[in-house]
Chains A and B, each alone.
Chain A
Amino acid sequence: MNYDRVLNSRVAQVPPSGIRKFFDVVSTMKDAISLGVGEPDFTSQWSVNDAAIYSLKQGRTHYTANAGLMALREAACDYLESRFGVRYDPKTEIFMTVGASEGIDLSLRALVEPGDEVLMPDPSYVSYSPGVIFAGGTPRPLVTRNEDEFRLTPQAVKAALTPRTKALILPYPNNPTGAIMEREHLEAIAEVLRGTDVVVISDEIYAELTYGGKTHVSFASIPGMKERTITLNGFSKAFAMTGWRMGYACAPAEILSVMLKMHQYTIMCAPTAGQYAALEALKAGRETDYAYVKEMVRTYDRRRRIMLDAYKQMGLSCFEPRGAFYTFPCVKSTGLTSQQFAERLLMEKKVACVPGTAFGESGEGYVRCSYATATDKVIEAMARMKEFVQEIRRV
């Protein structure tokens, strides 16, 4: 059997995630503190779990509508309107996906034809570039910089636009940098896109997690942008529900119907029990003014400040990230590469972080440290990292 001839070369040639190799090493170490986790350390609220269990007791074990339960679509549309000021029609402009990840894949496959280019900030979440390649397109990473607080600049977008540019992925608050884009920054991007047919895939999965008095601005809320925006969101980060795999995609009906068609043929519908769980998360949120979400945000914010203070003491520069649950300190002053820094920190101090290069070439010189880990562990990890940096500097 000649597997090289059998397998789709475009897919086969995509390298496995850079995170994978590191994962294998860390998982063999028993007492390492991991700052490498990209999901909340909180568990979903018990009322959410209970709603799913109850749905099973009621025998709700069948498919739902392809787009998901109407009550859930309505609740999600109300949520987006009340929290981020964007109104979508529950009948034609939203459907429930298997995590926001499915939304990324469907968005790209709905838009991209061979030879099309898709712009995305670099460093960024690991799925975008492979997703573009799987869809037959060409990823065009746009370098973002520490001095711009890792925001995407309108100049970078403008310079990269070609007649083949099909879409721009806008993932803010950003994984791995923790960067956010405020209204003025989004407006500047919008200005560049006006008059083009470039679609924006706005991955807003971290929308609830912003700090320092900043609140998330949804790209579709920028005047004139809704018609070209696919808004992706979900329950994983806002409601600590990663394992439920519940997300949603929103877009103008013309785009959404094409995405929904693929969803119908490939997925059928998001898991039914998960949909009931998600519905409870939104209901409970509305009734308590999102007390659960706010408590998580307060806790994350404290840990974020602990990390930033620790970097200052270590002499590692780090811009102040105001979103998600990541810090992205610059480790260039240690003379080590991202990979060396992460490997040695793990081996010598048993603290795991992720080399910035796992998120794109321009992540070189940085590491991603997640503060979705218990506060006392964050404190301990920072103490160990401080020792490590001091020892490196002494040599």
Chain B
Amino acid sequence: MIRDLELSILEILFNDSRTTPAQIAVMTGHSEEEVTAVIRSLEAQKIILKYPAMINWDRVEVDQVEAVIEVRVTPQRDEGFDAIAEQIYRFDEVSSVYLMSGAYDLMVTVKASNMKRLALFVAEKLSTLDHVLSTATHFVLKKYKLEGVIFEERRQDERLVISP
């Protein structure tokens, strides 16, 4: 039961993190106190980490380039990939790090104000790290969809306004 509520809350907040505990209480048929307690517990467990907005930066006049970098590394004894991953994700330029199966080990996304800065970061910081064997940098040209959200949705509500 509590698990159902947790999943409902996560689904609702994932869709719109502005939804208030009072609104969630109405939507799920639980009390506001109960909902607030569950949210606190989800935060304490680091299940909910943050409440960001999803922004299409392409539509904002800012200088920013993004690249996806395939990184091959040598895993370390006892630490596996975690220690080297940490060495990478601590950089402010790095916006995400995934451990991957397949031809490379870590997928790193990096943001910088221009292409040169980004290239230098990879050349000087990333590829020089101990245990990094190789990198392959792919610049992001356009984002179409992120976390289920289509960035330039052309589809509108075309339903008849009244139907039986």
Could you list which residues of chain A lie within 8 angstroms of chain B, going by C-beta atoms? 17, 19, 22-23, 26-27, 32, 34, 36-39, 41, 43, 125-127, 175, 298, 302-303, 305-306, 309, 352, 354, 358, 375-376, 379
Among B11, B23, B26, B157, chain A packs the most CB atoms within 10 A around the CB of B26
A352 touches B161 (CB 8 A): yes
Within 8 A of A (CB), among B1-47: 8, 11-12, 15-16, 23, 26-29
- Within 8 Å by CB of B159, from A32, A41, A298, lies A41
B161 touches A125 (CB 8 A): no
Residues on B with beta carbons closer than 8 Å to the beta carbon of A36: 161-163
Residues on A with beta carbons closer than 8 Å to the beta carbon of B160: 23, 27, 37
Would you list the 8 A-B pairs with minimal beta carbon distance, nearest first?
A302-B27, A36-B162, A23-B162, A38-B163, A34-B161, A309-B26, A126-B164, A26-B161
Given known contacts A19-B163, A34-B162, A37-B162, what 4 new A-B pairs fall within 8 Å (CB)? A23-B160, A23-B163, A302-B27, A303-B27
Q: Is B154 located at the chain interface by the 8 A CB criterion?
A: no
Among B15, B23, B27, chain A packs the most CB atoms within 10 A around the CB of B27
Q: Is B155 located at the chain interface by the 8 A CB criterion?
A: yes
Task: For B157, give the chain A residue with the smallest CB separation.
Answer: A41
Task: For A36, give the chain B residue with the smallest CB separation.
Answer: B162
Given known contacts A302-B27, A305-B28, is B162 in contact with A22 (CB within 8 Å)?
yes
A352 touches B28 (CB 8 A): no
Residues on A with beta carbons closer than 8 Å to the beta carbon of B8: 298, 302
Task: For A22, give the chain B residue with the smallest CB separation.
Answer: B162
A19 touches B164 (CB 8 A): yes
B28 touches A37 (CB 8 A): no
Within 8 A of A (CB), among B140-164: 155, 157, 159-164
Task: For A301, give the chain B residue with the smallest CB separation.
Answer: B27
CA distance A43 to B156 in the complex (A): 11
CA distance A309 to B16 in the complex (A): 20
Could you list which residues of chain B lie within 8 angstroms of chain A, going by C-beta atoms? 8, 11-12, 15-16, 23, 26-29, 155, 157, 159-164
Residues on A with beta carbons closer than 8 Å to the beta carbon of B155: 43
- Within 8 Å by CB of A32, from B23, B28, B161, B163, lies B161
- B164 CB, nearest partner CB in chain A, Å: 5
Among A38, A41, A175, A358, chain B packs the most CB atoms within 10 A around the CB of A38
CA distance A352 to B163 in the complex (A): 11
- A112 CB, nearest partner CB in chain B, Å: 21
Residues on A with beta carbons closer than 8 Å to the beta carbon of B28: 302, 305
Residues on A with beta carbons closer than 8 Å to the beta carbon of B12: 302
B162 touches A305 (CB 8 A): no
Residues on B with beta carbons closer than 8 Å to the beta carbon of A38: 163-164
CA distance A28 to B38 in the complex (A): 45
CA distance A127 to B163 in the complex (A): 12
B164 touches A125 (CB 8 A): yes
Q: Would you list 21 pairs from A and B whose C-beta atoms are within 8 A, ordered by A residue?
A: A19-B163, A19-B164, A22-B162, A23-B160, A26-B162, A27-B162, A34-B161, A37-B162, A39-B159, A39-B163, A41-B157, A43-B155, A298-B8, A298-B11, A302-B27, A302-B28, A305-B27, A358-B164, A375-B15, A375-B16, A376-B16
Residues on A with beta carbons closer than 8 Å to the beta carbon of B159: 37, 39, 41
Task: For A23, give the chain B residue with the smallest CB separation.
Answer: B162
Residues on A with beta carbons closer than 8 Å to the beta carbon of B161: 23, 26-27, 32, 34, 36-37, 352
CA distance A22 to B160 in the complex (A): 12
A354 touches B27 (CB 8 A): no
CA distance A376 to B161 in the complex (A): 17
A19 touches B11 (CB 8 A): no
Residues on B with beta carbons closer than 8 Å to the beta carbon of A17: 164
Residues on B with beta carbons closer than 8 Å to the beta carbon of A309: 26
CA distance A358 to B161 in the complex (A): 15
B26 touches A305 (CB 8 A): yes
- A365 CB, nearest partner CB in chain B, Å: 19
CA distance A156 to B160 in the complex (A): 35
A19 touches B162 (CB 8 A): yes
CA distance A32 to B162 in the complex (A): 11
CA distance A17 to B162 in the complex (A): 12
